[in-house]
Amino acid sequence: MEKTEFADRKFKLWFYQVSHSEAIIRSPKVDLDKTYNTNIDIYLGGIDYIEMPWLLCGLQIDKAAEEDKMYLSQKLGKDIPVKKIVVLVSEGKRYYIVASIIKIMENDLDFGVLPIYAFLSNKEK
């Protein structure tokens, strides 16, 4: 994944399902200090590892570097392919998710999350 930036949005770990190894990180359309037209949802599937706080401000998603691969491979005790590494940068700090699928979507839901099939049927942003 190439670099993607959401400088003015706050993201929260909105949903995590251990049994299906999937998560949604959401920037809600209504936040305490701002209102937007849409939510931004980052769907992650086939998750092997998550290292992040529950709140991310000014999110940037970076392409994984060789140092990221070495760090995660050493931490997890196995070789991690770069294509499975999601690097989240918030307030100058790097956080990691190892996942098979990442999809970024916008929606205008007032609550809840989209069914997972909705994420899988749309193109990656």
CA triplet 24, 25, 29: central angle to 5 degrees? Answer: 110
Residue 125 belongs to some domain of the structure: no
Residue 101 belongs to some domain of the structure: yes
Query: Which tens digits make up the pLDDT trace of 15-53?
Result: 999 999 999 999 999 887 889 999 999 999 999 999 999
Please state the domain count of the chain.
Answer: 1
Residue 107 belongs to some domain of the structure: yes
Residue 104 belongs to some domain of the structure: yes
Query: Which tens digits make up the pLDDT trace of 83-113?
Result: 999 999 999 999 999 999 999 999 888 766 5
CA triplet 53, 27, 123: central angle to 5 degrees? Answer: 110
pLDDT of 116 > 80? The answer is no
CA separation (Å) from 53 to 32, 84, 95, 104? 19, 19, 8, 19
- The boundaries of the domain holding residue 79 are 4-120
What's the predicted TM-score (pTM) here? 0.85
pLDDT of 115 > 70? The answer is no
